Amino acid sequence: MKRKFIETTDGSTSIYLEEMDEHYHSKHGAIVESNHIFIKNGLLPKSGQEEILVFEVGMGTGLNVMTTLKAAKDHQLKINYHAIEAFPIQEEELEFINFSSLLEMDHGLFLKIHAASWENENLLQSNFKLTKFYSKLINLKLHAEFFDVVYFDAFAPEKQEEMWTEEIFQKMFDALKPEGILVTYCVKGVIRRRLQAIGFRVEKLKGPEGGKREMCRAWKDE
């Protein structure tokens, strides 16, 4: 599928898929969206833990890995990060992505994310481990009650309906520890009802500045 690189409102890179008419990130700011939804409302509520286990659905450009790496440094967190991606970015496309400069981070670290071997644990920094899965989510086996946070960053339900089913959300629920969190940009009523049907406690939160008005956070209560 052909990928077109675009610049979002905050200056950060995103990708537009013409065949799907779908963007990888918010046009109103890829970095702003990542920091608000996944870091502020997903990762940081768990910042009191000795180690935080994160699972990302849809690694894509690696933006959420980068913002999590930055948060780990800024907040002195220890992260064990797992991500799944069925259609990885190609090496020659990495030069078009500008997250490193905007986040004031080492570009070599960004390249290291994408060069990391699949299915293996990779030590990116002393406080950050990354395991990537080259797979579709439906085919991936996950340990029960293993993760603290799920970054659910799949394409929109109308573009990738199979990623937003009760079956998939059950998989996420089972993989989360009690008091685990799932965060996503999607607040559609049908999606919230599916999350609730599985057993999540669902809340709507304020969306990122300049972007969507609301986002969704779902808790797996004790």
Q: What is the pLDDT of residues 55-92, one digit of tens each?
A: 999 999 999 999 999 999 999 999 999 999 999 999 99
The proportion of the chain whose per-residue pLDDT surpasses 70, expressed as a percent, equals 100
Domain count of the fold of the chain: 1
User: What is the C-alpha separation between 171 and 177, in angstroms, rounded?
Assistant: 12
CB atoms within 10 A of CB 178: 9
Q: What per-residue confidence (pLDDT) applies to 15?
A: 87
* Mean predicted confidence (pLDDT) in 151-159: 94
Residue 14 placed within a domain = no
Strand duo 176-184 + 201-206: pairing = unpaired
Q: Per-residue pLDDT for 27 more than 90?
A: no
Residue 107 neighbours by CB distance under 10 Å:
14
Strands (DSSP E) along the chain, which ranges?
3-7, 13-17, 22-23, 52-57, 79-84, 121-125, 128-133, 147-152, 176-184, 201-206, 214-220
Instruction: Indicate whether 120 belongs to any domain.
Output: yes
Residue 38 lies in a domain: yes
**Residue 158 confidence (pLDDT) above 90:** yes
Give the pLDDT score at 119: 97
Domain-located, residue 6: no
Q: In CATH, what number is assigned to the domain containing residue 211?
A: 3.40.50.150
Residue 61, in any domain of the structure: yes
Assess whether pLDDT exceeds 90 at residue 18.
no
Angle, vertex CA 199, rays to CA 163 and CA 54, nearest 5: 60
Q: Tell me the residue type at 185.
A: Y
**How far is residue 174's CA from residue 67's CA, in Å, rounded to a whole number?**
26
Lowest-confidence range among 26-40, 44-58, 128-142, 191-205? 26-40
User: Cα dihedral angle (191, 71, 50, 133), rounded to 10 degrees?
Assistant: 60
What is the pLDDT, as a whole number, of residue 1? 67
37 within some domain: yes
Residue with tokens 């933006």: 63
**What's this model's pTM, rounded to 2 decimal places?**
0.94
The rounded mean pLDDT for the chain is 94
| Residue 24 resides in a domain | no
State pLDDT tens for residues 161-196: 999 999 999 999 999 999 999 999 999 999 999 999
Q: Which residue range forms the structural domain that includes residue 48?
A: 29-220
